[in-house]
Amino acid sequence: MDLHNRRTIRKYASTPVSDQLLKDLLQLAARSSNTGNMQTYSVVVTRDEKQKELLSPAHFNQPMVKQAPVVLTFCADYNRFTEWCKCRQAEPGYDNFQSFIAAAIDAIVWAQTFAVAAEREGLGICYLGTTTYNAHQIIEVLHLPRLVIPVVTLTLGYPDDMPELQDRLPLEAILHDERYHEATKEDIDRWYAEKESLPSMKQFVAENKKETLAQVFTDVRYTRKNNEYFSNVLLEVLKKQGFLG
């Protein structure tokens, strides 16, 4: 798959992903930009069935975790860099929020370059947004130490399915020339018209017994209650792993 026709893949063929290819792609992706060339990131590779079973609840039992041949948990990691400092008579100062954000950015840049490189090789990926919801469970299963936090998870394998291309907002909705321009009601109507008119989205609204597509998001998929609950959980994880005072 190339960038213009890529799809998120949620069903994988039984074809194994070779260890050498996986390593080559991870090393290739590590050529991406990163802050000060500190490489404050790590990935944990899960292939073991028992480990997948332990990881699965952290991802709300989404079937990709057990079905994909490989699960990759990309982490913001200041542990290794801090150890290096300690071994070299240097006083590390990376147990703070700004260091977490910088490390998280670099981990995500690495993960997404990996995703692009993997898709170029005919592999398919799916991002699991559950990673930051249940980071505490993932930390336990993967034995992540202080100053390491999982940020994004990718399931990986050869596609067994080629879903339809998903809609995207028109570019004018996401691009701002020189200054941010807040959306007017007319802008909103124009930008969301295509999405709201799709049969799949209309079905989604009907199945959830809602009046509008937006209500499916606010009342079912991404609710205030869940967002607030998992915000507190994540802030606690940041404290526990040493990134927040």
13 vs 214 by CB, closer to a second copy: 214
- DSSP annotation of 95 reads -
Contact (CB, 8 A) for 161 and 11: yes
Q: Which amino acid is at 101?
A: I
What minimum distance in Å lies between the beta carbon of 15 and a second copy? 21
Question: Which C-beta is closer to a second copy: that of 14 or that of 225?
Answer: 225
Which residue lies nearer to a second copy by CB, 14 or 184?
184
User: In angstroms, what is the minimal distance from the CB of 88 to a second copy?
Assistant: 4
- Beta-strand relationship, 124-128 and 70-77: unpaired
Identify which of 50, 204, 73, 232 has the alpha carbon closest to the alpha carbon of residue 148. Answer: 73
Q: Which residue number, 61 or 86, has a Cβ lying nearer to a second copy?
A: 86
Min separation Cβ 104 and a second copy, Å: 8
**Cα→Cα distances 43→97, 138, 177, 217, Å:** 21, 12, 37, 31
Cα 209 to Cα 96: distance, rounded to the nearest angstrom: 44
Q: What are the phi and psi torsion angles at 96 (to 5°)?
A: -155, 170
Which of 29, 207, 170 is closest to 110 using CA atoms?
A: 29
Q: Which residues touch 101 (CB under 8 Å, ≥6 apart)?
A: none
**Nearest approach, Cβ of residue 89 and a second copy (Å):** 6
- In order, the DSSP letters of 155-171 are EEE-BS--PPPPP---H
What is the nearest approach in angstroms of a second copy to the Cβ of residue 150?
10
Residue 218 Cβ, how far from a second copy at the closest point, in Å? 4
Q: How far apart are CA 23 and CA 25, in angstroms?
A: 5
35 versus 67: smaller Cβ distance to a second copy: 35
**Which CB, 95 or 160, lies closer to a second copy?**
95
